[in-house]
Structure 1
Amino acid sequence: MSPAAHPVLDLPFDVTPDPDEFVRAAMEWHFSPETGSPYWLRRAQSLDFDPRRDIKTHADLTLFPNVVDELRDVPVRDLVPRGYGEAPDIVGTFESGGTTGAPKRVVCLRDWMDRVVAWSNANLDTHGFPRGVQWLGVTPSGPHVVGRIFEESAATHGSLGFFVDLDPRWVKKLIATGRGDLADDYAEHVIDQAAFVLRTQDIGVMTITPPLLERLARRDELVDLVNEKVRAIRWGGTQMDADSRDLYRTEIFPGIPLYGHYGSTMILGIAGQRYGLGEDDPCVFDTFSPYITFSVVDPASGEPVAYGERGRVVMNHVSKGLLLPNNLERDLATRIEAPDGRVGDSVADIAPVARFDNETVIEGVY
């Protein structure tokens, strides 16, 4: 029989644990020889602190080094906590976008996928997304976790999903090597695939990236089909500026709820657009705290910037299935105060840095 976890690690998705009690329980789970993963049990030997003794609050997660670059080479089985037993229910292994070199890999357990999708589905309800309809996803699949989240959402919040695959790595490679015309051709090919579905199927929810939504909106026939059939649009992958959001909401797709999310493979999830934002407000993203948390810091000092100021995004993932704290992401954002009861920061005005890990950052279509 597998060792039991502290009950605070297994609460329902809509019950928010005390963040400090939760972090302490997670440290016991991830660094106990009986339940921790081979990776973290080895890595603990090189830390200059004892996580089970010294990590007492959510704020103490800053003691951890940023280990994400090590995940380019770590066998993913070594990331699975031993507490899941000999036959853990693994949903899949997922990779970062490869924007800054060889991709990093994480493994996702079934209990986490169910938790984050249930949280996301509740957000969709808040934003007026209809349940039980058919979904169309124009998103990366394969090694990218967003494709699996789409699939799970389409099956649980919706009824079924239609998929149009997207290879963002190929688009970025084309752009980086000066073949932007081929990247344009590929993007138009993707929209062609979406058009076939929109013409022939009843689609109630569409998930798409902002650059591809812009391309779709250039075709009058597809704008008409979306307005006729689609009842809500979920976007993510790259940022959407306030002017574009306003144009979609008021002129191109009037009356259709437009909901954004912001995430990363390294947190195995997403942050959701805050409900009730005014027309002139920036798009603010709130996290699934305390499992997924952000901080916005000065990259030179590592200290938080003031609310309303811009800095680099640091992401933490702490759950029963995965521990990945203190990851300095490639994105800049404005620091926003989180809603009451949540730890960490909310973020707005997401934009990539120009260079990251000595590589030029190219967004492309995702």
Structure 2
Amino acid sequence: MFSAVLDLTAAGDAAVDPDEYISALMAWHFSAETGSPYWLRRARSLGFDPVADVRTFADLDLFPNVINEFRDIPVEDLIPRGLEGADREIAGIYESGGTTGAPKRFVMFDRWMEFALSWDEFHYADLGTMNTLAITPSGPHMFGEFASRRARRHHGVKFTIDLDPRWIKQLIARGDTADADRYAEHLIDQAAQILSTQSVGILVTTPPLLERIARRAELVDLVRKQIRFICWSGAHMDADSRDIFKQEIFPEIPLKGLYGSTTILGMSRERSEDLPGGLAVFDPPSPYIVFRVVHPETGADVNVGERGQVVMNHLSKYALMPNNRERDVALMAEPLPGALGCAVADVGPVTMFDNHSVIEGVY
């Protein structure tokens, strides 16, 4: 019998003993009865005993960053053997964006996905029944499925468009910026047709595409008339752009971001209060998703208010992705009371990652 501390609690509930949680997590993922084939096999080459040696959040530093191995692991090997019944129902197999090479694949379980969605639910609680327009990737990208589930929660339908973000990245990588621009405008043309003919209350998109909407006066008017909430994610938004959207272009529409990654199977939510200077702060749902911000050269944690590289951890009974250095830099911010790790602010991409140029495109 494994500890009930691993069972999902209400979104935002950080009231668990962190050491008890980490110890139970190691026992789950590294026991033959409950662990996944991948982690049970990988444990033999770690050089330490996760159950005996990883007792605290800080001990996760012992793990190497294994995330690149997820490019070619059979997805069946990622399913923990201890999951049973409804816990084992799979929402989908989702892939990273392919920004730094071949995509990585992850198993998203239905119960986890519903929990991850609920983490941001308080932003939407009073919106009522309305339709959603998702100008987002779908297919292998979890962003589209989150938008579909958001629409169902508001008893509406989801309108979407055809969007292949990897094609734009290929165009940019080979210097074909003209075709990349034409493709991006093609996306906005599709969105414009929906906005001009359908009733939509929630707009979900990426900052580069929201910027292109803002360039068309007729679309700005349509958004102002019917959109009641804008959710952005999938790419970075700098503080100046965010301020212009909020104060000048869409001043009457709540604009909230989600910062996350497929490599953590979820996201952090934008805090209601900004940091001084208008910087958005993002809180992950501890203890299941936990951030650190570290010095890129030494790996040591930076101090509050200092800038460093983001390290992400997914720590649930559904998956284990510890100690993963992301392709982002951010300011370290104080976490919510009782939460592990830290919050992040002023997130932006590095220019090079794993010897690859970082190309965002539209996602």
Q: TM-score, normalised by structure 1?
A: 0.94
Quote the offset at 1:30 in angstroms. Answer: 0.9
1:263 aligns with 2:260: yes
Question: Who is 2:94 aligned against?
Answer: 94
SS state of the match for residue 330, structure 1? Answer: strand
Q: Give SS of 2:43's match.
A: helix
The answer for unaligned runs of 5 or more in structure 2 is: none
1:334 matched to which residue of 2?
A: 331
Q: By how many angstroms is 1:221 displaced?
A: 1.0
| 1:180 corresponds to | 177
Cα offset for 1:279?
Answer: 7.8
Q: Does 1:277 align with 2:274?
A: yes
Looking at structure 1, the residues matched to 84 and 238 of structure 2 have their Cα atoms a distance apart, in angstroms, of 46
Aligned equivalent of 2:146:
149
Please give the secondary structure, in 1, of the residue aligned with 2:136: strand
Letter in 2 for 1:36: G
1:321 corresponds to which residue? 318
Q: 1:194-205 residue pairs with structure 2 within 5 A?
A: 194-205=191-202
Cα shift at 1:239? 1.6
Are 1:120 and 2:117 counterparts? no
Evaluate the alpha carbon distance shift between residue 5 and residue 50 of structure 1 in structure 2; reply closer, same or farther with a 3 A threshold. Answer: same
Structure 1: which 5+ runs fail to align? none
Kindly state the Cα deviation for residue 278 of structure 1 after the two structures are TM-superposed. Answer: 6.3
Quick one: percent identity of the two aligned structures?
Answer: 55
Q: 1:286 to 1:158 in 2, by over 3 A?
A: farther
- Aligned residue number for residue 220 of structure 1: 217
Deviation at 1:208, TM superposition (A): 0.8
Deviation readout 1:183-240 (Å, 9 max, x if unpaired): 1111111111111111111111101111111110111111111111000100111221
CA distance in 2, matches of 1:94, 1:288: 20
Q: Deviations over 1:109-167 (max 9, x none)?
A: 11211111111213443xxx613211111111111111111111221245221112321
Counterparts in 2 of 1:132 and 1:22: CA distance versus 1, 3 Å:
farther
Determine if contact 1:123/1:272 at 8 Å carries over to the other structure. no
Query: Which residue of structure 1 aligns with residue 300 of structure 2?
Result: 303
Paired position in structure 2 for 1:55: 54
Cα-Cα RMSD: 1.6
Return the alpha-carbon distance in structure 2 between the equivalents of residues 302 and 241 of structure 1: 25
> Does residue 108 in structure 1 map to residue 108 in structure 2?
yes
Which segment drifts farther, 173-182 or 49-58?
49-58
Q: What's the TM-score, normalizing by structure 2?
A: 0.95
Aligned counterparts of 1:132 and 1:117: Cα–Cα separation in 2: 17
Partner of 2:228: 231
- Are residues 119 and 238 of structure 1, via their aligned partners in 2, closer, same or farther at CA, if it must alter by over 3 Å? same
With over 3 angstroms needed to count, the CA separation of the structure-2 counterparts of 1:281 and 1:322, relative to structure 1, is same
Q: For residue 249 of structure 1, report the CA deviation from its aligned partner.
A: 1.5
Match of 1:288 in 2: 285
Contact 2:95 2:106 in 1 (8 A): yes
Separation of aligned partners in 2, 1:140 and 1:196: 18
C-alpha distance in 2, partners of 1:29/1:298? 31
Q: What is the CA distance between 1:283 and its match in structure 2? A: 1.3
Partner SS for 1:84: coil
Aligned letter for 2:168? Answer: V
Shift of 1:248: 1.5
Deviates most, 188-197 or 160-169: 160-169
Deviations 1:72-96 (A, max 9, x none): 1110110000112499311111111
Q: Which letter does structure 2 place at the counterpart of 1:322?
A: A
Distance in 1 between residues matched to 2:61 and 2:151, nearest whole Å: 36
Give the letter for the 2:29 counterpart: H
Alpha-carbon distance change, 5 to 167 in structure 1, aligned in 2, over 3 angstroms = farther
Q: CA deviation at 1:11?
A: 3.5
Residue 355 of structure 2 is aligned to residue 358 of structure 1: yes
- C-alpha contact (below 8 Å) 2:236/2:349 kept by paired residues: no
Q: What SS class does the counterpart of residue 119 from structure 2 fall into?
A: helix
- TM-superposed CA distance for 1:315, in Å, is 0.3
Contact 2:131–2:154 at 8 Å: present in 1 too? no
CA distance in 2, matches of 1:165, 1:311: 35
Distance 2:90 2:299 in 1: 34
- Matched to 2:225, the amino acid is E
Per-residue deviation at 1:276?
2.3
